[in-house]
Amino acid sequence: MPASTAPASLSPPVVRFAPSPTGELHIGGARTALFNFLFARHHGGTFLLRIEDTDRARSTGAAIGAILDGLAWLGLEPDRPVVFQSERQARHAEVAHALLAQGGAYRCYLTAAEIEAARARQLAEGRSARLESPWRDRTDGPEDRPFAIRLRAPRDGETVVEDAVQGRIVFPNADLDDFVLLRSDGTPTYMLAVVVDDHDMGVTHVIRGDDHLPNTPRQLALIRALGWPVPTYAHLPMIHGADGTKLSKRHGAVGVAAYRDELGILPEALENHLLRLGWAHGDTEILSREEAIRLFDLGGVGRSPARFDLKKLESLNAHYLRAADDARLAALVAGRLEAGPGASLGADARRILLRSMAELKTRARNLNQLAESARPLLGPRPISMDAGAARLLDGRGREILGRARAVLEEVEPFERAGLEAAARALAGELGVGLGEVAGPIRAALTGTTASPSVFWILEILGRDEGLGRLQDAIGTMESTA
Ligand code: GLU
C-alpha cells in the first residue's frame, strides 16, 4: 500500500502562515497568509502565525517587525499568540531523540569531509547524489564523537500526496534521503522544526507556496515515522508579473509595505487583488472580505501561475477609494502631506481636507493622487501663486475677480450651484465666457491654473475662507464680512 495523505478531518481546521523572517513581507507571502486566513474563516477554524526564525544568522528583528506590521495592515492577525520557532528548539531535539530511541532515526557520525567524499564517489559510480550513510545499519558508533540524528527514511514504495490544489502527486521513496533531523551541534533542521511545530500547533491543513512541494514527501516520511496524523496539503501556484515571468523586483515593488507607503494602495484593494491571484469565483473581480470568506475554498484555487498586475490593482484601488470613509481618507492623506519637513496641517486645512474627500476620492487611483489633488485646496493664506496663476491675476483678471467677489458674496446658501449661477450671470453681463470668470477665481483660490470646479472649491472652503482668498488676491482692504 502506498503511503498517502489522510482525508481532511471533520473538526474545524487549524492553519498557519509560517514565514521565515529574512526580509520584508512579500506579495507572495501575503497571498499565502490571506488564503490561510480565508480558509480558516470559511470553515470556522483557526489561523495561526509561526515565525520560522531558526536560522539565526539570516533572521532579523526588523524583518519580524515588517511581517507583523504588514499582516496587521492587511487585517490578517492570527487567532492566537505568535509562535517563534527558535523558542522551541528543546522540543525539536526531544522529538529527534525520541525517534532515535524508537529506531526511526539513527546516529550518523559522518564528518562533513566524509559526506563530500561519499557524494563524489556515488556520482562517479553513476548513482544519485542521495547520501547513503553507512551508519544507517551500524550500531557500533563511538560514544565520544559528535553525531547527527538522521531519519531512517523508507527506501521502497512511494509516497502519494493528495494535494488539495495540485491533485495527486506520486514521489518514489527511492528518491528520499536520510535527511538530518538534529545537527551534531544539537540544533534542529528546518525539516524537523516544521513537522514538530505543525503537529504541536494542531495544524490540519498546510497551505503554502508550491516551492515547498519537494519538501513534502520528506516531511511526510518524518510524520509517518513519528506516527502522527498527516495534514492535508495545498500548494499554491507561483505568482508571476504581468509579463508572465516569475514576480521579481524587475516588475516593481514586491514588498507589501511599498504598496502602502510608496504606491498609496488601500489594504482592502491589495487584499482583493491577492485574493484573485490564483483563486477565482467565476469572473467576479471585486469581492469584499465578507464575500471572500463566504466563497473561498481550496477547490477554487487554480494550478497555473497567477499574474500580479499593477494596473488591475490600481483600478481596484480606485474602487475602494470611492467606497472608503471620508474621515479615514482625510487622515491618510493628512499623514502623507505632513510627511514632509515642517508640513503640519492646521485645523482649517484639516476641515477643508475632510470636506473635499467626497469629491476628490472619485477621481484618484491611489493616495498619492488623492493627496496631490487636495494639496492646492489647503492653503494657508495668502496662497502662493505659480507663474500661470499670477498671470491670470494681472490687470483685467484682477478686475473681473473684484466683480466676481462682489456677486459671490451675495450667494446664500454658499453652495456650488448657486455660486456657479452667479458667476454665469456675471460672465453674461460682462460679455465673456464663464472660463474668463472662473480662471481668476481658480488662481486666487488655489494658486494654480488647473483644478476641479472652482465653485465646488468655494463650497468646500466655505464662505470665510473662500472669500478671504479672493480678497487676498484682489489686495484691497474691503471687509469680507
Ligand atoms: N518558512 C517557510 C518559508 O518562509 C515556510 C514553511 C512552510 O510553510 O511549511 O518559505
Q: Is the pLDDT of residue 416 over 70?
A: yes
State how far the Cα of 15 lies from the Cα of 36, in Å rounded to an integer: 6
Choose the residue to mutate in 22, 52, 58, 210 for probing ligand 1, maximizing ligand atoms within 8 Å of C-beta: 52
Contact indicator for 166, 176 with CB cutoff of 8 Å: no
Please state, in angstroms and rounded to a whole number, the distance separating the CA atoms of residues 257 and 62: 13
For residue 207 and ligand 1, the question of a CB distance below 6 A is answered with no
Known catalytic residue at 249? yes
Say how many Å lie between the CA of residue 398 and the centre of ligand 1: 67
Q: Using a 6 Å cutoff on CB, does residue 194 contact ligand 1? A: yes
Give the integer Cα–Cα distance in Å for 71 and 260: 12
Q: Ligand 1: which atom is nearest the Cα of residue 219?
A: 9
pLDDT for residue 52: 96
| Predicted local confidence at residue 1, as pLDDT | 44
In DSSP notation, 200-248 reads HTT--EEEEEGGGGGGHHHHHHHHHHHTPPPPEEEEEPPEE-TTSSB--
pLDDT of residue 341: 67
Share of the chain above pLDDT 70, in %: 96
Rounded percentage of the chain residues whose pLDDT exceeds 90: 81
Query: What cell does 380 get?
Result: 494657508
Rounded-to-5 percentages of helix, strand, coil across the chain: 50, 10, 40
Query: What pLDDT is recorded for position 476?
Result: 42
Q: Ligand 1 centroid vs 343 CA: distance in angstroms?
A: 42
Residue 32 Cα: closest atom of ligand 1: 8
Alpha carbon nearest to ligand 1 atom 6, residue: 18
Q: Is the CB of 439 under 6 A from ligand 1?
A: no
Asked whether 230 and 188 are in contact (CB, 8 A), the reply is: no
| Best CA proximity match to 199, nearest among 48, 7, 35 | 48
What pTM did the predictor assign? 0.91
